[in-house]
Structure 1
Amino acid sequence: MWLTCEGCNREFDVIDGIPDLRLSIPSWIDAIDDTKTARELSAAHLPLKELVTEVYSRRHGWDEARIARRSREVLQGSAQLREDLKSWLRPVVADGPFLDLGCGGGMLMAAAAKLQPGRCLIGIDVSMTWLVVAKKFVSECGGRPMLAAAMAEALPLADSSVPAVVSLDVIEHVHDPDAYLAEIDRVLQPGGRAAFSTPNRFSLTAEPHVFVWGVGWLPRSLQASYVRWRSGKVYSDTVLMSSFRLARRLRRRTHLQFSIIVPTVPEAHIAYFNKAKGKLARLFNAVSQSAVLRPLFLIISPYFRVTGAKVWLH
């Protein structure tokens, strides 16, 4: 099945009812393999659990324990995201449709559908494979997914067309963060709200993608070789930012009135920590919310959350 653009007469592939509107694809995604896998998974009609497991089973060099762990994270992740939707994300996406930019397997949209069955949810991701998963996940949770494969720097949406945008742990992976923010600003309605989350470059904890300490404190030019030396892992598609860099980009590329939040460690997570780590986490929660110490934690906090509203344009 193909979709034809009336403006440029270009044809776009459609898989499982999901249009592939990617104008370009980053080097870290094998476009041919991604499309082939998505088509095969769509035709297989697997139950959700088996579908997610099959995606990870195709990863080169992954053992069964790793496949099972990552599959659980996807399937159980929507429970934690429901708590986020009830707390810090509630003012952003309380009602109506919203765009989940970088939606992956659809965990956030599935969580929103559980809270409000029948809700229309817009999901855009660079991976067609994960969008096939997202369609099944959201549909089984009672939502109405509207999905498309596209680049975050070139969204297939009209100006001022969405009332809210949520993009969790995405900005550190896009090729052009400035274009990504400008596109979010373009499609967001005046008065619409946006929410982001991203790890902090200068966190005192290990880099969360590769679990190596001290990565962000090094010059950019040395980070990949340092990670390879310490862990043997590739570190080529992640660029973390400080709170100051993030705030500067938001001011320059968007019309958002925003605040940067230092999140606390959820008690649900602390419950799995050992005694010493639990005490440390609760101490962090207590002192990081102090107005006096907030500037310090904007430098060293592991993660940031950003919420904001697009100011009305006259």
Structure 2
Amino acid sequence: MTLLVESQRFAGSTDRTDLLRAFLNRHPIEMFGGVIADCRRAEESYLGDAEDRARARALMELVQSEHFDFEELIERLYDLSPEVGPEARRRQTSHLRTAEARAEIWLEALGRDTAGLGPRLDLGCGSGGFLVASARREPELIHVGIDPALRWLTVAAGRLKAAGLDGGRVCLVAAHAEELPFDAETFGSVAAGDVIEHVNDQARTLAEVWRVLKPGGRLFLASPNRLSLTPEPHVLVWGVGWLPETWRAAYVRCVNGAEYRQIRNLSWNEWQRLLNHSPFGGGRVESPRLATAELREFGGLKRGLGTLYNLLVTHGFGQFLARRVGPCFHVVCQKR
């Protein structure tokens, strides 16, 4: 017997509004575009609510059009984003296209045994790559994706539609990680890929995740390493994380003119301290291999270095070095 029939709150309904009401206990629920529940209690901090909503409306028109195309949706997203320069656009577009491949590695790290514990939350779901990969693997499971930005949730709605999952058990909710609109012990697992470095309060976010997880539930996080010897992945500038925090934004602006805000990457030692002081009481922090799809996007030399890195991290000393100066971390915690 699955949780879907074990729990009266999720008793087999395939109506998305019913599922959202069961999760959110909000009557009525404010819906955006008919598919996104807006439960934000604070303003979208990067663009502001008005601009975020305007871009989301333009994207939703494309999602709901008769001849919808996901690649066209990505291009439209960046056409509406003049603050993203040409090089950043190329890099971010490539990142979006490989999202589902990265999600497969994230799912392996999260573990297959969590599906039996109940619904899965994608914290900061962005363009929905993890939601698609997870819903394909566990179609009987309810999946909920949250993000504070309506524009990104609209892109996620488009990805779900392109994957044929827009009529399934996948719900999209606009909310902030520090104040989740869910009851305690709602989810069997939570994934947050490339998210924790962007939240306003990392400790509070971990406490909220612990609150909504069921006992035995598991959290997976992916995040860049502050002390990586590779360029900072958001702005492609070398050495950002080695500088004092108050210098970083000015340094990035000086090097390539980019804005460096709402980003707080952690080192391996900083992760240990954060987890030890969280309700989880600790967790496993490792340097993962790079996804094959990501390696294909690299040029010749970079691809060769990435392949070598994947070989090194499978060995003890290589893993030790990667935890100190490698590009990124995978973090797994369990609620005891």
TM bucket by the smaller chain? 0.7 to 0.9
Deviates more, 1:107-116 or 1:202-211: 107-116
Provide closer, same or farther for how the CA distance between residues 153 and 290 of structure 1 changes in structure 2, counting only shifts above 3 A.
Answer: same
Q: Distance in 1 between matches of 2:92 and 2:243?
A: 29
Amino acid at match of 1:248: R
Q: Distance in 1 between matches of 2:296 and 2:254?
A: 33
SS of the counterpart of 1:88? helix
Amino acid at match of 1:225: A
Q: Distance in 1 between matches of 2:88 and 2:229?
A: 26
Other-structure match for 1:41: 59
Q: Distance in 1 between matches of 2:87 and 2:233?
A: 19
Other-structure match for 1:158: 183
Find 1:148's aligned residue among 173, 179, 184. 173
Question: Scaled by the length of structure 2, what TM-score is found?
Answer: 0.80
Other-structure match for 1:90: 111
Other-structure match for 2:316: 291
Shift of 1:277: 3.7
SS of the counterpart of 1:207? coil
Deviates more, 1:180-189 or 1:264-273: 264-273
Q: Distance in 1 between matches of 2:245 and 2:85?
A: 31
Question: Scaled by the length of structure 1, what TM-score is found?
Answer: 0.85
Provide closer, same or farther for how the CA distance between residues 154 and 272 of structure 1 changes in structure 2, counting only shifts above 3 A.
Answer: closer
Other-structure match for 2:260: 235
Provide closer, same or farther for how the CA distance between residues 264 and 83 of structure 1 changes in structure 2, counting only shifts above 3 A.
Answer: closer
For residues 15-38 of structure 1, the C-alpha deviation after alignment (integer angstroms, 9 at most, x for no partner) is 123221111125322211112332
SS of the counterpart of 2:217? strand
Other-structure match for 1:211: 236
Other-structure match for 1:24: 42
Shift of 1:77: 2.6
For residues 42-70 of structure 1, the C-alpha deviation after alignment (integer angstroms, 9 at most, x for no partner) is 34523142333322211116578875764
Shift of 1:80: 4.0
Shift of 1:249: 1.0
Tell me if structure 2 keeps the 8 A contact 1:257–1:310.
no
Find 1:74's aligned residue among 90, 96, 119. 96
Provide closer, same or farther for how the CA distance between residues 206 and 72 of structure 1 changes in structure 2, counting only shifts above 3 A.
Answer: closer
Shift of 1:134: 1.7
Q: Distance in 1 between matches of 2:157 and 2:286?
A: 31
Other-structure match for 1:123: 145
Tell me if structure 2 keeps the 8 A contact 1:15–1:38.
no
Provide closer, same or farther for how the CA distance between residues 97 and 198 of structure 1 changes in structure 2, counting only shifts above 3 A.
Answer: same
Other-structure match for 1:281: 306
Q: Which has the higher contact order (CA 8 A, sep 6+)?
A: 2
SS of the counterpart of 2:109? coil
Q: Which of the two has greater strand per residue?
A: 1
Find 1:136's aligned residue among 158, 183, 186. 158
For residues 184-233 of structure 1, the C-alpha deviation after alignment (integer angstroms, 9 at most, x for no partner) is 11111110011001000001111000000000000001111100111111
Q: Where in structure 2 are there 5+ consecutive unaligned residues? A: 1-19
How big is the alpha-carbon RMSD for the aligned residues of Structure 1 and Structure 2?
3.0
Q: Distance in 1 between matches of 2:75 and 2:297?
A: 24
Provide closer, same or farther for how the CA distance between residues 295 and 273 of structure 1 changes in structure 2, counting only shifts above 3 A.
Answer: same
Find 1:225's aligned residue among 250, 256, 271. 250
Provide closer, same or farther for how the CA distance between residues 83 and 27 of structure 1 changes in structure 2, counting only shifts above 3 A.
Answer: closer
Tell me if structure 2 keeps the 8 A contact 1:202–1:242.
yes
1:173 aligned to 2:215? no
Tell me if structure 2 keeps the 8 A contact 1:263–1:305.
yes
Provide closer, same or farther for how the CA distance between residues 35 and 212 of structure 1 changes in structure 2, counting only shifts above 3 A.
Answer: same
Tell me if structure 2 keeps the 8 A contact 1:201–1:216.
yes
Amino acid at match of 1:216: G
Amino acid at match of 1:228: R
Amino acid at match of 1:29: L
Q: Where in structure 1 are there 5+ consecutive unaligned residues? A: none
